[in-house]
Amino acid sequence: MRFTKMHGLGNDYVYVNCIGEKDEKGENVENPAQIACLVSDRHTGIGADGLILICPSEVADVKMRMFNADGSEAQMCGNGIRCVAKYVYDHELAVAGDGFAVPGQGSFEASLEIETGRGVLRLGLAIGDDGKVEKVCVNMGQPILVPAEIPVRLNGDSVVEMAIDVQNQRMLMTCVSMGNPHAVFFYEDLDSLELEKIGPIVENHELFSERINVHLVKVDSAGEFTMQTWERGSGITLACGTGACACCVAAVLTGRCQRIVKANLPGGVLELNWSEVDNCVYMTGPAVEVFSGVWNIFSS
């Protein structure tokens, strides 16, 4: 199986081109859930937070399928989709469209459309002097706040700073879906918290029928916050694009930040804009291709 290793802010995935590449049997990837577990292992596999397939689409330039390190399939991945856009443009899998405007922030010179579990998303591409994509802006769509649609087993119109007991301490939780579910907790001192213990407890809490991504956030100013992430199915990661968008929305809903903010993640910085014009969240950040290779799937 031919693959390419890519990352967005250290959130790394194994990418497989299911449009132009075939495995040794002449077929596209089979059993992707099982393969995701094998290739993600950092000791016996390639090493990654998961597996992303770049597939043909009837409604967009390409379709993205994303599998976590435990084999579970997720609807969306913000860092992953930026890397898909870079791969598609750099490897000429599709012809880029016209420019892409970000409300109140300027524009990008080229664009692509990618089908995801959340629907078709539009992305703006910043092209470097070498003709390769350096930075990508994604229109992540409108945040979902209704509990039943996130999903959270609660009634009402939203979940904003609701008390939940975790490890004998009361935590205030705000829930947002950006195509996949997120629980956001604000704290002044992130170093005092043990994400490796809090993360799996919240992820698998009975409130969440599909589990949930967990984020601990410290607000640095009205235009900046620092966050740590526990991703469902993968554990602690260096970055989470959909999570950063959810944290931006949660910070605005709780009166902590303005709509245009900078998110500091362990792997780097994302620029976020929850636009008042169309209610969509725009996320901008880098995408990096690391290396390519061939993995002998049949001996694993």
Query: Catalytic site residues?
Result: 77, 240
Dig out the tokens for 9 from the structure: 């802010």
59: its two tokens: 């409604």
Residues 258/220, Cβ–Cβ less than 8 Å: no
E strands present in the chain: 2-8, 11-17, 50-55, 62-68, 73-74, 100-102, 106-108, 110-116, 119-127, 133-139, 162-166, 169-177, 181-186, 213-221, 224-231, 235-237, 260-265, 268-274, 281-286, 288-294
Distance CA 79, CA 229 (A): 13
Question: Using an 8 Å Cβ cutoff, are 212 and 205 in contact?
Answer: yes
Beta-carbon contacts of residue 83 (< 8 Å; ≥ 6 apart): 6, 7, 8, 13, 15, 52, 287, 288, 289
